[in-house]
Amino acid sequence: MNEDLTQETARKLGIVTSGSLATGLDVRLDSSISIEEIKVGQYVTIAGDRSRFLGMITDIKLGAMAQSFQDTPPDVSDPFIARVMAGTATYGILHVTPTLVIGGEARTILEGPQPVKTIPSHFSSVSLSSQRDINLVFGDEDQERFYIGNPLDMEMKVCLNLAEFVKRSNGVFGKSGTGKTFLTRLLLIGMLQKSKAANLVFDMHNEYGWRGSSERGHEVKGLKQLFPSKVSVFTLDEESSRRRGVMTDAVARIGWDEIEPEDIELLRRTLNLTEPAQQAVYQFRQDFGSKHWLEKVLGLEKDGENTRELLERLHIADSTFRNLRRGLDSLKRLPFLVPETTENTTQRILEQLQRGNHVVIEFGRYHDIVAYMLVANMLTRRIYDRYREATEKAAGENKPAPHPLVITIEEAHKFLDPEIANQTIFGTIAREMRKYNVTLLVIDQRPSAIDAEVMSQVGTKLTCLLDNERDVEAVLAGVPGKNELRAVLSRLETRQQALIFGHAVPMPVVVRTREYGSPDSYKDFGFVEGAELRARAAQDKKDLWDSL
């Protein structure tokens, strides 16, 4: 982009020639501006007779004075003829979707930018938006707002309103390799920096805790290195953590006695359980008791006389029992599942969350979806129950509610599939919209596989490039002006660009996400080498003496 087009007093791009409130405006490009300098997703300011409007370029077209220029193009090998034709007989057309009124009306002066309810008149001047206009809409970074990136070809900062962000469940979407993990790290840092929510992160690929990788394969610091006193890392695979040189706070173990039939029900399709086998789980729990039902089922001899008598008494077919055992035996092979545990992992995690800290659960070598779904579902159900109890108690005693909690899950469609979303804890949390101060941050490359009702409750969507039409439709369902946004979404670059829209931003915006991974970027996040580690050591020493 020409440097003078990005100045505070950007020269005019063109004038409004036609359009409507429903479909957007057509802007004829000034002959002095090359159409190749303009990009979809850029912001423009429109100076109407009484108001100023902020809008986004959603399409770029070529126009001509007469059809004959398209049917029989003139000879433009002569540079003089080419210059005469450009901007007069032929010209560029920008399609702009106006979104906000940012000046001129008394209400905008008193209350800030307002949604558009009218459009500017013919021949209104259009120019690239200035730093002042962008700041007026998105605000400067402060305790409420977090700098997430820059508009295309602009140095202005776009900020998310994190106070609004954590009020509803949110989503990060995009096909593989487009920067979902990168973007999620920024969101986790923002919530931690601004103290807007604690976060429970189910880290399937070990990318958020101690270290991670950029989309180009470079190693970057994880949350634990940047904020060691505010992030706790629990690992399910101590051996893997040791090999990778990862600093962890605790090794997570789950007892067989902690697994409930509801946890198995979520895994029914993953374990290939039949409907009768799933019902048998509840029968065994009722017969054996809630504490040791799984251990006793796993201890049954498949062809033993006692087993046959038990199955006859409970009216469970032998084929059903064998189907159930095959599924449960696959869980038995997971090393972090043990008959009994000496520590309550759920309680330790809850203590960290109640302090406002982030908790990252690393899975190490256990990338199997069975392990991920089992652990995420078990811990989420139990922690959610504690938050519900704490919220209800606080309301009854007229005390402040618990610190907001965001639960971050990858492969979200596995938990929020239309067939099971109504039965899972994750579907419940999404629909309740922070009823008990708990929301979700879902990360997925297949949003079309997520239940439509759940998607409708997602407050803010941060969407990287998607190339599947069904996924695009799922992300944009119910969004005003979705046809225009569809064109913008399809033009995103494969890395470090995202379309953001929803409750945390006043209008849709395409951003190039801020830098993450360089020493300067770590300083921007407030990280000072060694200082946080020393602070953590001092705090650990104090905690030790306080406990004696």
| Tens of pLDDT, residues 64-122 | 876 766 666 766 666 766 666 666 678 899 999 999 999 876 566 667 789 999 999 99
Residue entry with tokens 């039939």:
261
**Number of continuous H segments (helices) and E segments (strands) in the chain:** 21, 23
pLDDT at 285 over 50: yes
For residues 330 and 353, membership in a common domain is answered with no
pLDDT tens for residues 434-481?
889 999 999 999 999 999 999 999 999 999 999 899 999 999 998 888
Look at residue 100 and tell me if it is in a domain: yes
Look at residue 420 and tell me if it is in a domain: yes
**Which class for 58: exposed (0-12), middle (13-18), buried (19 or more C-beta within 10 A)?**
buried
For residues 175 and 322, membership in a common domain is answered with no
For residues 415 and 462, membership in a common domain is answered with yes
Domain finish residue from 88, 103, 138? 138
pLDDT at 547 over 70: no
For residues 477 and 385, membership in a common domain is answered with yes
**Which pair of structure tokens corresponds to residue 138?**
């998105």
Band of the pLDDT at 58, cuts 50, 70, 90?
very high
Report the alpha-carbon distance of residue 315 to residue 110 in Å, rounded: 72
Look at residue 522 and tell me if it is in a domain: yes
Which residues are within 8 A (CB) of 139 and not within 5 positions of it... i.e. 6 or more apart?
Answer: 145, 159, 161
Look at residue 542 and tell me if it is in a domain: no
Domain finish residue from 336, 361, 381? 336
Q: How many domains does the chain have?
A: 3
Range of the domain at 115: 3-138
**Which pair of structure tokens corresponds to residue 406?**
């965001």
Look at residue 548 and tell me if it is in a domain: no
Residues 514, 162 contacting (CB under 8 angstroms): no
Report the alpha-carbon distance of residue 548 to residue 539 in Å, rounded: 15
**Which pair of structure tokens corresponds to residue 151?**
């508009």
**Which pair of structure tokens corresponds to residue 87?**
């901007």
Look at residue 543 and tell me if it is in a domain: no
pLDDT tens for residues 152-198?
888 888 999 999 999 999 999 999 988 899 999 999 999 999 989 99
337-364 residues labelled b (16+ CB within 10 A) or e (exposed): beeebeeebbeebbebbeebbbbbbbbb
pLDDT tens for residues 369-406?
889 999 999 999 999 999 999 999 999 998 888 999 99
**Which class for 134: exposed (0-12), middle (13-18), buried (19 or more C-beta within 10 A)?**
buried
Full-model pTM: 0.86
Band of the pLDDT at 344, cuts 50, 70, 90?
confident
For residues 238 and 168, membership in a common domain is answered with yes
Nearest to 27 by CA among 3, 10, 46: 46
Average pLDDT over residues 524-532: 68
Look at residue 529 and tell me if it is in a domain: yes
More confident residue, 217 or 285: 285
Domain finish residue from 336, 369, 396? 336
Residues 185, 148 contacting (CB under 8 angstroms): no
For residues 498 and 374, membership in a common domain is answered with yes
More confident residue, 133 or 218: 133
- What confidence score (pLDDT) does residue 91 get? 87
- What confidence score (pLDDT) does residue 7 get? 40
For residues 237 and 309, membership in a common domain is answered with no
- What confidence score (pLDDT) does residue 99 get? 92
Return the H-helix or E-strand segment holding 524. Answer: helix 519-524
3-state SS class at 149: strand
- Termini Cα distance of the chain: 64
Residues 236, 375 contacting (CB under 8 angstroms): yes
For residues 273 and 400, membership in a common domain is answered with no
For residues 317 and 381, membership in a common domain is answered with no
Look at residue 144 and tell me if it is in a domain: no
Band of the pLDDT at 541, cuts 50, 70, 90?
very low
For residues 271 and 389, membership in a common domain is answered with no
Which domain CATH number covers 352? 3.40.50.300
For residues 210 and 325, membership in a common domain is answered with no
For residues 237 and 260, membership in a common domain is answered with no
